Each structure stands twice: as structure tokens, then as C-alpha cells.
Amino acid sequence: MPSGPGDVFELIRHGRARTRGDLLGLTGLSRMTVAQRVDVLLAAGLIREAGSERASGGRRPARLELDVTHSVVISATVDTTHSRTALTDLSGRILADRQLDVAVEDGPEAVLSGIAGAARDLLDGQGLPAARVSGFGISVPGPVDPATLRPSQPPIMPGWDAYPVAEHLHDGFGVPVLVENDANAMALGEYSSGYLDCRALCLVKVSTGIGTGIVIDGRVYQGIDGGAGDIGHVRLSGHDDAVCQCGARGCLAAVASGRAVAQALTAEGIPAASGRDVRALLSRGDVAATRRTQEAGRVIGGVMATVVCLVNPGVLLVGGALASSALISGVRETLYPRSLPRATRHLEVRLASLGEDAGIVGMTRMVVDQVFAPRAVDAMLGA
């Protein structure tokens, strides 16, 4: 039974309790104790009173909610050709952001130094002292060991394997730092912004590589070593001519990623270097780009059919640089015939809605979940 200030805060933060009366019913605490807990949280600036709830009679009770302005989160995403750094409030709303054209292959020192510098500039631009930062979240395009928060043998991140990303950023900012795979961060961001009622959600990111983020009961499923969802290296039969960046042959990413589609188009005499280039061609109605992207979608859909049968999600989102109507039509074309009807009975297959904001929002959610967990709040308040 929840009892401490941190537990009460958790109920309010997630919207399960909106009034003091709700807290009385959910916690079983006395009216006086609930009042004390709420007063402590109000005094700390963690919650605020915002208007009032409807009541059947008598005085309308004040509505309690998270004070999203209590502090800010630095949230960053690393892609193969650029990074993006943002300041957000505790709800994930972006206050300011900056993109840097720095390639992941330039190595962790160069990329992280650029992100740290951008974060400081953003804080200065908003007139915010470093003391207002509650945490730092960063996503990277490769597997992350959940025990060490270090990249773990990432195929498209040369020089990053086992690099102490969290330690590097903590030394500069002195706040908790979380590091996560980009598809996982995107999946959590989409879940937080529009699918809170969905018990199981999957997002497949199709960019330079291919990865899947899985959110179950509001939490990212990482697997034992952070390798869950790394479908880009599932081997496909009949594609031994496709050499993957990991060194193997026939990987899904080598056949159907944005990079693979771009290479196929270039071989046809249509210059393209990345999924972004392909999507630009799609926006102009290029027939070859549409055909190649649909073909990639069919291949991805065949692999995702296995994921759907294993996880049985309510929502499957398609995101990343190659996300488009052409890609998702190909995914649907093979996904449904190759999945059990029971696994797809209530499945919605959609394009991700947040675009490049998904990873930012997801990393903020992860930071807030950790920094403001019940025990952390109790420690913060000396409870």
C-alpha cells in the first residue's frame, strides 16, 4: 500500500489521483497524513494545484498535477549523420533544441563534446542555471548494455563499443544520465504521447539500420543484455549477396534499411545516400523509389510477423528516416498473411506520429521515471 511522499507523488504524476479525495481512496492514509504529504510536495514544487474537479455537490476539490516546470531535462539523440540536443520540461515538451551535423563514425569524444556544448548553449539561451537540470538522457543507434549503460558491439558506431557515455556526460553536468537504444527511446516516446492505454506496443525504426523498440505495460523491454528488438541482424535466406555493416551476409538491415534502398537506387542510376534521400525521392513521386521502398517494406513485414506473433502488440508503429506510406503498405502486405489471426485481430499498424521528436520525448520519460521514482523523491525530501 503506497504511503510515503514518493508514492503519493507517483499517483499524482501518472494521473491516477487527481484530488486529495482520490489519494484517500487509493492509499488508505488518514486525511491528515494525505494533507501532510500533499503539502510537502507542493512546497517542494513537485506538484501544483490547477483549477478544480467537478463535484456532485458542495465545494469543488482542487485538482493536483505534476508541476512540469519544476526542472528541465536535457534529452539528446544520436543518429548516423547528426545529433539533436533538446531541453524539455518534465512532460517532454521541447523548450529549445539544436541539431549538429556530426557523424557517429567521428567517435564518441567528438559527438558527446558537441552535445554537451549544445546543451550548455541551450541552458544559457533559456536563462537557466545548471542546477535546474534534473537529468540527462541520450539515445544512440545501437545496442546498450542496461547494466553499464555503455554501447555494446554497435555495428554502425565505430569506436563506441563499451565507451562510458553516461560517465562522460555526468562529469560535465553532475546529474543522473541514462543511455538507451534509439528504437527503444522512440517507442517509449510514442507510447507516452498517445498510447498510454496500450499494454504492448512495438515500433520498428527503419533508417541506416533497422531496430525494434518494445514497450510492455509502460516499460521498455530491453532483454538480458540490451539486445531485445535488434531485428536488423536477423538473417534472411536467399540474400547472401547482401553484406551487412556488421560483417555478416543476408541481414535484414543489409536488404531493407534506408541505406540498402539508397544503394539499390544508386545502382539504378538514381543517386541516393540515405533513407532521407529516398524519402525525398518519394515525396517527388519517384517511381523507382516507391517500388524499392515497398519491396523493403515487404521484407520487413515478413520479419515483423514473427515479432507480432511473439509479443502480440496492440500497436505496431513504423518510424525512422524511411518511414512513409510506401514502406508501411509493403509491411502490411506481408505482415498480416504471415501472422496468426489471433495475433493481429486487434493490431493497428501505423506510421509513428512524433517524427524526430519521438526519441527526445522517450528519453525525457526515462529520465523522469528514474529521477522521480518514489524512493528517489523520498530521498529528495528527506522522508
Residue 127 shares a structural domain with residue 219: no
Strands 47-52 and 133-140: unpaired
Residue 59 shares a structural domain with residue 120: no
25 CB contacts (<8 Å, ≥6 apart)?
Answer: none
Residue 316 shares a structural domain with residue 194: yes
Residue 294 shares a structural domain with residue 197: yes
What letters, b where the CB count within 10 A reaches 16 and e where it falls short, cover 88-119?
bbbebeeebbbebebebeeebebbbebbbebb
C-beta neighbour count of 36 within 10 angstroms: 14
Cβ atoms of residues 48 and 89 within 8 Å: no
pLDDT of residue 176: 98
Residue 23 shares a structural domain with residue 114: no
- Please report, for the domain that includes residue 35, its CATH number: 1.10.10.10
Last residue of a domain, one of 67, 95, 120: 67
372 CB contacts (<8 Å, ≥6 apart)?
Answer: 9, 13, 46, 90, 134
Q: How far apart are CA 330 and CA 295, in angstroms?
A: 6
**Number of helices and strands in the chain (H, E):** 14, 14
C-beta neighbour count of 157 within 10 angstroms: 23
Residue 100 shares a structural domain with residue 136: yes
Last residue of a domain, one of 41, 67, 93: 67
Last residue of a domain, one of 67, 98, 120: 67
pLDDT string in tens for the chain (383-residue length): 667 999 999 999 999 999 999 999 999 999 999 999 999 999 999 999 987 656 555 567 889 999 999 999 999 999 999 999 999 999 999 999 999 999 999 999 999 999 999 999 999 999 999 999 999 999 999 999 999 999 999 999 999 999 999 999 999 999 999 999 999 999 999 999 999 999 999 999 999 999 999 999 999 999 999 999 999 999 999 999 999 989 999 999 999 999 999 999 999 999 999 999 999 999 999 999 999 999 999 999 999 999 999 999 999 999 999 999 999 999 999 999 999 999 999 999 999 999 999 999 999 999 999 999 999 999 999 87
Full domain range(s) for residue 146 = 72-182+359-379
Q: How far apart are CA 295 and CA 151, in angstroms?
A: 31
C-beta neighbour count of 30 within 10 angstroms: 10
Rounded to whole angstroms, what are the CA distances from 362 to 74, 204, 298, 367?
A: 12, 15, 28, 9
**Measured over all CA atoms, what is the biggest interatomic distance in the chain, rounded to whole angstroms?**
75
- Please report, for the domain that includes residue 109, its CATH number: 3.30.420.40
pLDDT of residue 53: 58
Residue 289 shares a structural domain with residue 202: yes
Residue 141 shares a structural domain with residue 43: no
pLDDT of residue 107: 96
pLDDT of residue 374: 96
Q: How far apart are CA 51 and CA 106, in angstroms?
A: 51
Number of domains in the chain: 3
Residue 203 shares a structural domain with residue 178: no
Residue 234 shares a structural domain with residue 196: yes
Q: How far apart are CA 10 and CA 1, in angstroms?
A: 13
Residue 289 shares a structural domain with residue 309: yes
pLDDT of residue 50: 85
Residue 340 shares a structural domain with residue 198: yes
